[in-house]
């Protein structure tokens, strides 16, 4: 395949779709992974093609070991290589509950989808990438891995502790794989979004509209999937050749401490 090959998990809608479109603008072939919403994934594929890319859709639950293995093998069957993995798929808690009450069921679901899934998908893809590097199958440069975390990696929201713990874990996952894969030239990055307008935040739109108006972060607007997509595209273009394990805050300046 004479294009870079990317897997974007959870690419049917929201941030993942924004990433897929920006990668398509760079000419990538994008594997559009989704959990169940085929119509959204198919629409994303159409947009990817319109943007100059190519792609396929693959339904796979990142929380399932079997599905993760199939995602990798189906990608290799279709394109023969993986140049970029973007761990984006993630869910919010079904119900926001105080950490003094929240149950194990919500915790297990969140950790399985948001942390264990990307952790072992990264492991599987990293081993594939190492083989590619060893065999010289790197026509578009050395492979890279990007994980989409959240300001929740360091911001304590006591009504969704499971989500915060999962995102904090993903931040460490990035450090771990960056350290382990550097000897192979495989670079690993974290993109840390602030509040982004997607289905995930639709239910709390009014709350965030108010917070934005009050200046909860310096750049007073909602983040857009395209904002995250452009950050991932910069990494995909290899614009950071002497960096790995780096965190990119795409949050309107939320992380700044001001006095
Ligand atoms: P979204 O609009 O709810 O879209 C989620 C996407 O992930 C969908 O494509 C969904 O597939 C897919 N997905 C869900 N569970 C999956 C699973 N088990 N296996 C595979 N795919 C799965 O969410 P979003 O706002 O774009 O969020 C994307 C990522 O950014 C998440 O990791 C989220 O935590 C993170 N994030 C979001 C915000 C925000 O403000 N929106 C801020 C910081 C970080 P289907 O379409 O098939 O359901």
pLDDT digits (tens, 9 = 90+) for 208-250: 999 999 999 999 999 999 999 999 999 999 999 999 999 999 9
* pTM over the 0.95 mark: yes
Given a cut of 80, whether residue 1 has pLDDT beyond it is no
Q: DSSP class of residue 83?
A: S
Report the b/e string of 176-213 with b at 16+ CB within 10 A: ebbeebeebebbbbbbbbbbbbbeebeeeeeebeeebe
Which helix H or strand E contains 130, and what residues bound it? helix 117-134
Q: Which domains does the chain have, with CATH numbers?
A: 5-250 (3.40.50.720)
3-class secondary-structure state, position 87: strand
Q: Which residue owns the Cα nearest ligand 1 atom 6?
A: 10
Residue 90 C-alpha to ligand 1 middle, in angstroms?
Answer: 4
Cα dihedral sign, 255-23-205-150: negative
Q: What φ, ψ does residue 103 adopt, rounded to 5°? A: -95, 170
Q: Which residues contact 66 (CB under 8 A, 6 or more apart)?
A: none
Ligand 1, closest atom to CA 16?
A: 26
163 as an active site residue: the answer is: yes
5's enclosing H/E stretch is strand 5-8
pLDDT one-digit tens code per residue, 94-106: 999 999 999 999 9
């Amino acid at each position: 395949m004479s294009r870079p090959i990317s897997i974007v998990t959870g690419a049917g809608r929201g941030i993942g779709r924004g990433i897929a479109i920006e990668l398509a603008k760079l000419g990538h072939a994008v594997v559009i992974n989704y959990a169940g919403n085929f119509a959204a994934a198919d629409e994303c594929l159409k947009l990817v093609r319109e943007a100059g890319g190519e792609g396929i859709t693959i339904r796979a639950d990142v929380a399932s070991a079997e599905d993760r293995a199939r995602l990798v093998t189906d990608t290799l069957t279709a394109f023969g290589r993986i140049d970029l993995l973007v761990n984006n798929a993630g869910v919010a808690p079904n119900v926001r509950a105080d950490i003094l009450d929240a149950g194990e069921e919500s915790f297990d679901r969140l950790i399985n989808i948001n942390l264990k899934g990307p952790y072992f998908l990264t492991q599987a893809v990293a081993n594939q990438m190492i083989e590619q590097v060893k065999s010289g199958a790197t026509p578009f440069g050395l492979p890279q891995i990007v994980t989409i975390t959240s300001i929740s990696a360091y911001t304590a929201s006591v009504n969704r502790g499971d989500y915060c713990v999962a995102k904090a874990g993903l931040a460490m996952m990035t450090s771990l794989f960056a350290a382990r894969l550097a000897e192979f030239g495989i670079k690993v990055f974290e993109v840390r979004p602030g509040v982004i307008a997607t289905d995930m935040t639709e239910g709390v739109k009014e709350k965030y509209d108010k917070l934005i108006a009050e200046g909860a972060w310096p750049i007073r607007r909602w983040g857009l999937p395209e904002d995250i997509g452009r950050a991932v595209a910069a990494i995909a273009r290899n614009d950071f050749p002497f960096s790995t394990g780096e965190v990119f805050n795409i949050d309107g300046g939320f992380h700044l401490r001001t006095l």
